[in-house]
């Protein structure tokens, strides 16, 4: 007798049952029990206890474990500065914030060959990661030996996303971007893009420095909104030409949201994310005495209240798909943001701020206060990040999915302090902000890694997730010129 997967799951005896929780999934908001057998969810509803271990979650809210698909861990910056977190410190912070899966970056520059670079990062994660993980492959030099062959091999092996830049000193030319998109289309990979126009940023930065505008607050001016708008519109056209999916990272402007909305309306395969620091901060956060504003410097920079409103609207109507942290940790000392001293212009200060631990609580608070609905919270923080990035049975509370579950205490209230996160950054950019709700218990594949708000998991227990071929693009059709060029 051959059992179907669903029938098998129904017959499986659970060894753990979460009872009486308010269970939030991509499809439901209900009071229910969750039965877990081994690493999987096997039933949702009313479950008989039997001999299973019980967690009584009455009064708690159960959500899928957070899926953060944009985090920089043990990565060298374009300035040649190693960020503050190891896989151990970054992922313990993530776990305590309710995130159970992370996609970080494996940069081409970390080894002579691309294959070696990715293996280098995989080895680091195997040693230290508390949570499950995958990698985006950062490409910055399409002329290096064996890069195309290595890239195709890595995609075939399950590393199915590529990260490229249109700015900084690691950007690819438009011609190289075409090559990457063509390879990705044929191999079934997703191309993720930091989309800003390098020329506009460089010219504006130089003019600001020449006129004495050198403080951290001037960093926001050095990344003009048109730099994002132009690059976003350009990458949309590239995605349209190749009819292959593109993920636009960290969208921050009204105009970029509108460009994405129009592109999707005409069938372009483009996805997009934003981040909490664009939803909850404006550029005013940089305007502090002396060098202090450097703590909040990131790229693109925080924008205006009008941009915030457009981002929330974009999340509400599905123009923007998900919220990622863009965790980019640098300490506020000589090992990090102050590596060039305290009397320097903004261009010599590392960009980025920590976010792995706070992303889920900030968005959970937005749900409790009515800014987003419960299903939207699950979708943008868990389900869509997992499905778009090919993370298999992650990001939802459904039959057969991994038992990555967070139990939240909705009555907990936290006012962030100066240095109360569990990463290795040494400061909290959300100091003074109060959020409602906190993770009390976190399960990773059925195993408790956070209990009563304390870490109980072990480093190195997180597993790498192989991500399969994406298949054919959705509803977009290749431009005739592309079809003719590839015959």
Residue 107 pLDDT > 90 = yes
Count of H-run helices and E-run strands, the chain? 15, 17
pLDDT at 163 over 80: yes
Ranges assigned E (strand) in 184-297: 190-194, 246-248, 270-274
User: Which of 79-88, 101-110, 304-313 is predicted most confidently?
Assistant: 304-313
Sheet containing strand 132-138, strands side by side: 66-68, 99-107, 132-138, 161-165, 190-194, 246-248, 270-274, 322-323
Mean model confidence pLDDT for the chain: 94
Q: How many CB atoms lie within 10 A of CB 81?
A: 17
Is it true that the peptide bond before 184 is cis, omega within 30 degrees of 0? no
pLDDT in tens, 57-89: 999 999 999 999 999 999 987 777 889 999 999
- From residue 324, alpha-carbon distances to 233, 470, 473 in Å are 21, 21, 23
Q: What percent of the chain is modeled with pLDDT above 90?
A: 90
Mention every residue, 6+ apart, whose C-beta is less than 8 A from residue 344.
none
Q: Mean pLDDT across the stretch 104-128? A: 93
pLDDT higher than threshold 60 for residue 483: no
Tokens of 266: 């005409």
CB 85 within 8 A of CB 424: yes
Residue 189 near residue 470 (C-beta atoms within 8 A): yes
For position 1, what pLDDT does the model report? 30
The share of the chain scoring above pLDDT 70, in percent, equals: 94
* Lookup: tokens for 447: 């195993």
pLDDT of residue 112: 87
Distance between the two ends of the chain, CA-based, in angstroms?
48
Whole-angstrom Cα distance, residue 317 to residue 313?
6
Is the pLDDT reported for residue 471 higher than 70? no
Residues 144-155, mean pLDDT to the nearest whole number: 96
Burial 174-209 (b: 16+ CB within 10 A, else e): eebbebbbbbbbebbbbbbbbbbbeebbeebbeebe
Contacts of 1 (CB under 8 A, 6+ apart): none
DSSP bridge pairs for 135: 104
Residue-wise pLDDT for 416-445, tens only, equals 999 999 999 999 999 999 999 999 999 999
Confidence of residue 51 (pLDDT cuts 50, 70, 90): confident
* Domain 66-379 belongs in CATH node 3.40.50.450: no
The model's pLDDT over 185-210, given as tens digits with 9 standing for 90+, comes to 999 999 999 999 999 999 999 999 99
At residue 5, does pLDDT exceed 60?
A: no
Which one, of 276, 275, 271, 247, lies nearest residue 261 by Cα?
A: 271
Domain layout of the chain by residue ranges: 66-379
């Amino acid at each position: 007798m051959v059992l179907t997967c669903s029938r098998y799951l129904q017959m499986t005896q659970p060894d753990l049952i979460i009872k009486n929780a308010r269970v939030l999934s991509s499809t439901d908001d209900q009071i229910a029990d969750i039965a877990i057998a081994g690493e999987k969810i096997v039933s949702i509803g009313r479950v008989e206890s039997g001999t299973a271990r019980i967690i009584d979650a009455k009064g708690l809210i159960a959500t899928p474990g957070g899926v953060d698909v944009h985090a920089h861990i043990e990565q060298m910056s374009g300035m040649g500065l190693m960020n503050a977190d190891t896989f151990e410190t970054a992922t313990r912070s993530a776990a305590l914030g309710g995130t159970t899966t992370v996609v970080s970056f494996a940069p081409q520059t970390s080894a002579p060959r691309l294959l070696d670079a990715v293996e280098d990062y995989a080895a680091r994660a195997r040693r230290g990661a508390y949570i499950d993980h995958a990698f985006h492959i950062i490409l910055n030099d399409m002329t290096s030996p064996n890069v195309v062959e290595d890239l195709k091999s890595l995609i075939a092996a399950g590393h199915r996303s590529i990260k490229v830049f249109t700015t900084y000193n690691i950007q690819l030319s438009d011609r190289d971007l075409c090559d990457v998109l063509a390879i990705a289309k044929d191999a079934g990979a997703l191309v993720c893009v930091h989309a800003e126009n390098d020329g506009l940023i460089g010219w504006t930065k130089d003019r600001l420095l020449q006129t004495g505008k050198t403080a951290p607050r001037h960093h926001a001016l050095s990344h003009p909104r048109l730099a994002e708008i132009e690059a976003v519109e350009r990458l949309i056209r590239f995605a349209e030409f190749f009819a292959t999916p593109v993920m636009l990272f960290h969208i921050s402007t009204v105009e970029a949201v509108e460009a994405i909305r129009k592109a999707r309306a005409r069938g372009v395969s483009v996805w997009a994310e934003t981040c909490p620091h664009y939803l909850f901060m404006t550029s005013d956060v940089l305007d502090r005495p002396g060098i202090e504003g450097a703590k909040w410097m990131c790229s693109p920079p925080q924008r205006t209240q009008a941009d915030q409103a457009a981002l929330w609207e974009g999340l509400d109507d599905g123009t923007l798909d998900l919220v990622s942290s863009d965790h980019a940790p640098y300490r506020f000392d000589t090992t990090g943001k102050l590596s060039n001293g305290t009397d320097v212009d903004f261009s010599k200060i590392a960009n980025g701020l920590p976010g792995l631990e706070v992303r889920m609580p900030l968005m959970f608070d937005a749900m409790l206060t009515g800014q987003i609905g419960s299903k939207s919270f699950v979708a943008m923080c868990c389900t869509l990040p997992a499905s778009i990035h090919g993370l298999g049975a992650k990001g939802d509370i459904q039959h057969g999915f991994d038992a990555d579950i967070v139990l939240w205490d909705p009555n907990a209230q936290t006012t962030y302090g100066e240095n109360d996160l569990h990463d290795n950054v040494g400061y909290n950019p959300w100091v003074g902000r109060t959020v409602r709700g906190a993770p009390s218990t976190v399960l990773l594949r059925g195993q408790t890694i956070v209990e009563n708000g304390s870490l109980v998991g072990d480093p190195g227990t997180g597993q790498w997730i192989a991500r399969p071929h994406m298949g054919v693009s959705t509803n977009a059709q290749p431009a005739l010129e592309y079809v003719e060029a590839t015959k």
